[in-house]
Amino acid sequence: MHPATHPTTKRMITERLRKEWMTWPKKFAAIQRQAERMTLPNGRQKTLIRCAQCQNLFSRKDVQADHIIPVGPLASTNPGDVADFKQRLFCHVGNLQALCRDCHLSKTKMDKQIFH
């Protein structure tokens, strides 16, 4: 197998970009759009995030940013495909939504069935 198309390299690129995505500010801005300020019974204020799917409220740590149109896999290590993958991963904010862990997990499973 040619080194440029070796799966390990593809995985390395994907992992590096996914790591970058973890701290991408636009992602947090997208989640913030679904934030709701609540007053707790003790009078204190708390910001909760409404899941776009089940519509329940969660604390910030229990929601994740989801690509409405899934990113899908990196096709190859060719610069064109990497650029394409980056564009899908670091997408327009309109393609991002906040989902709770359970909804994100079930959607990711469904996306994988469609796209693989």
Query: Tokens 């990497």 map to which residue?
Result: 82
Binds Zn ion by CB under 5 A, chosen from 66, 71, 100, 107: 100
Give the pairing type, strands 63-67 and 96-100. antiparallel
Cβ–Cβ < 8 Å for 24, 91: no
CB of 70 to Zn ion, least distance (A): 17
Which stretch in 11-19, 71-79, 88-96, 97-105 sits in contact with Zn ion by CB under 5 A? 97-105
User: Does 51 engage in binding with Zn ion (CB under 5 A)?
Assistant: yes
Q: Is 60 exposed, middle or buried (0-12, 13-18, 19+ CB in 10 A)?
A: middle
Nearest distance, CB of residue 16 and Zn ion, angstroms: 29
Site residues (vs Zn ion, CB under 5 A)? 51, 53-54, 100, 103
